[in-house]
Structure 1
Amino acid sequence: MRTKTYPTFNVKLLLLGIFLALVVIFVFRSSSDSSPASSNEKSPISGKEAVDDHEKSTSCESTMTCNKIPTSLAKALIHYTTSTITPQQTLKEISVTSKVLDKKSPCNFLVFGLGHDSLMWTSLNHGGRTIFLEEDESWIEQIRRRFPTLESYHVTYDSKVNEANSLMDVGKGPECTAVGDPRYSVCQLALKGLPSEVYEIKWDLIMVDAPTGYHDEAPGRMSAIYTAGMMARNKEGGETDVFVHDVNRDVEDKFSKAFLCEGYMKKQEGRLRHFNIPSHKDSSNRPFCPE
């Protein structure tokens, strides 16, 4: 999620638009809550009325303080407008996920990968829980020093890109299409060493933008894509929105279609695919992929 950079203008324009919209909402609420009723008639003010007016004024001031833009969002806005390094996703790609977040946040958002866009995702899910899974421990430490509020965990991937074809065959077996908790799965594709809370939380959104995956000896995204799909199917009720980035690459293209299912795909924008996967726990007869 951090190896590539793109022109800053479009991404900054999106971020500015989002945060300015938030500012307008907060200001509007503050103004509407604090505006006193107007009157053309003047009348004497008793002591009690004066006290009431003072309490109303204090209440208005308190309301205005509560409705100002949160500090975390302000910091994110300042960071992205002053940084020369921006997220590698394009404006249109980011917009696909941000529209879903706009409807569902605050929510639970799991992201495979920790990068220059992590602060943005956390800010767009303000008030929710966003967790990042990263393969590079040194990179985690760098990001933690800059953004200590981000919640991230180190993850080890056993498979490599050059094993993708054999793992695709493995994934077609009954042990991999049976819905269940990935940590107890006997499927070779399932990630079993993730932090316990990753398995226990009901995720509303999952983004697969890691591991590296761009050369044959690099960790591939086969297991991350499979596990994201299985978490969505194993969820107690509801649907999970799953996003896969870099679908221009062979692994991301084939594995997202096979294990997140073309029938569940809602949209593709550039190199990003959006899938909406329903729970399979409440319907034992539901096929792994829709027919």
Structure 2
Amino acid sequence: MRSKTQFKCNMKLAIISLMFLFFFIMLFRSSTFSFSQNLTKSNTNNLTIISSQEKTSSSSSCHSLPLTQTCTKNPPSLVNALIHYATTNITPQQTIQEILVSSKILEKKSPCNFLVFGLGHDSLMWTSLNYGGRTVFLEEDKSWIEQIQKKFPSLESYHVTYDTKVHQGDELMRIAMENEECKKISDPRISKCELTHKGFPNEVYEIEWDVIMVDAPTGYFDGAPGRMSAIYTAGLIARNKENGDTDVFVHDVNRKVEDEFSKAFLCEGYFREQEGRIRHFNIPSHRARLGRPFCP
């Protein structure tokens, strides 16, 4: 009797254990499946988020960049200048500090009309600094013009001659200061002042110049032409402008002619700055406001 009862108890215990095991297995499978689904769903959501972010990023990038990317070329004048100054050991006539005085003005005014007395090793630089504008060079040495034009045909230069000499500076100053015609504002081609240069190309007199650089003609020995008429005529051209002002620079003011003639005819009242051997004047239009004195 005890054995039979014990057998029944053992059977019941076994059945309960099997049912519990079956329930545990089903529960584990369900949990695993649910976890797998959640993981898959989470991965899918993550992939969707990442894909959305990539799409947004891609869309953002597309909006920030042109559909067709193009290569913007450097202007020829700048390319020529970079190559020239990178491959030559010839130093420009002006120092870096002197160049900065006029380059600051060109930065504000360019593209503009820029007249330069003198064709030199710095001519490519001036043309590049006035990119998009018109830069004209006036040179006394015809053979030098031909030499430069072969190398840099894009530079616009004209040959001019001067009939003065440095040793005449004092006499020309005295005559000009005594002659009232030298204080009148008129077209330089009809001016009666002895200092006026009338042999420039017509463009020089007809163009409204925004910036003028006087760095020629030669003036370092008595028999050289000197810059007496160049400085005076530059000032007359500036005053004769229809509207606006003209920035005029004179280089080599350490020399007597450049120093005295710039002060007398570009006027100390129009003086703005000097750095080393370069002097800067800002001359307003005298035609826009009639009655202005020659010097303020």
Instruction: Place the TM-score, normalised by the shorter chain, in its bin.
Output: 0.7 to 0.9
Separation in structure 2 between the aligned mates of residue 267 and residue 174 of structure 1, nearest angstrom: 28
Q: Give, in angstroms, the shift of residue 282 of structure 1.
A: 2.0
Provide the residue aligned with 1:109 in structure 2: 114
Q: Which residue of 2 aligns with 1:240?
A: 246
Aligned mate of 1:170, from 171, 175, 182:
175
**Structure 1-normalised TM-score?**
0.79
Aligned partner of 2:272 in structure 1 is: 266
Give a deviation string over 1:53-97, Cα, whole Å, max 9, x none.
9x9522xx23xx23x422321221121122111211001000000
Residue 250 of structure 1: aligned partner: 256
Shift, 1:167, TM fit: 0.8
The TM-score with structure 2 as length reference comes to: 0.78
Pairing partner for 2:100 from 90, 95, 114: 95
* Structure 2 gaps, min length 5: 1-51
Name the residue aligned to 2:67. Answer: 57
Asked if 1 retains the 8 angstrom alpha-carbon contact of 2:77 and 2:127, the reply is: no
**Does the C-alpha gap of structure 1 residues 42 and 207 become closer, same or farther in structure 2, counting only changes over 3 Å?**
closer
What number of residue pairs does the alignment pair up?
Answer: 240
What per-residue deviation string (whole Å, max 9, x for no partner) do you get for residues 156-195 of structure 1?
Answer: 1011111111111222211111001111111111110110
- How much has 1:204 moved relative to structure 2? 0.4
Give the direction of change, closer, same or farther, for the CA distance of 1:280–1:82 in structure 2 (3 Å limit): same
Structure 1 or 2: more helix by fraction: 2
The question of 1:138 aligning with 2:143 is answered yes
| 2:98–2:276 contact (8 Å) kept in structure 1 | yes
1:40 correspondence with 2:45: no
Matches of 1:69 and 1:138, distance apart in 2: 31
Q: Using a 3 Å threshold, how does the CA distance of structure 1 residues 70 and 175 change in structure 2: closer, same or farther?
A: same
Give the superposition deviation at 1:153: 0.2
The question of whether the paired residues in 2 share the 8 Å contact of 1:170 and 1:176 is answered with no
Q: Could you tell me which of 203, 223, 226 is aligned with 2:229?
A: 223
Partner residue in 2 for 1:27:
none
Deviations 1:103-130 (A, max 9, x none): 0001000000010010110011011000
Greater Rg, structure 1 or structure 2? 2
Runs of 4+ in 1 over 6 A off after TM superposition: none
Question: Within 1, Cα distance between the matches of 2:200 and 2:241?
Answer: 17
Distance 1:104 1:157 in 2: 30
Q: For each residue in 1:222-255, what CA deviation from the matched residue of structure 2 results, as whole angstroms up to 9, or x when unmatched?
A: 0000000000000001000000000000000000
- Report the identity percentage: 69
Question: Could you say what secondary structure the match of 1:122 adopts?
Answer: helix
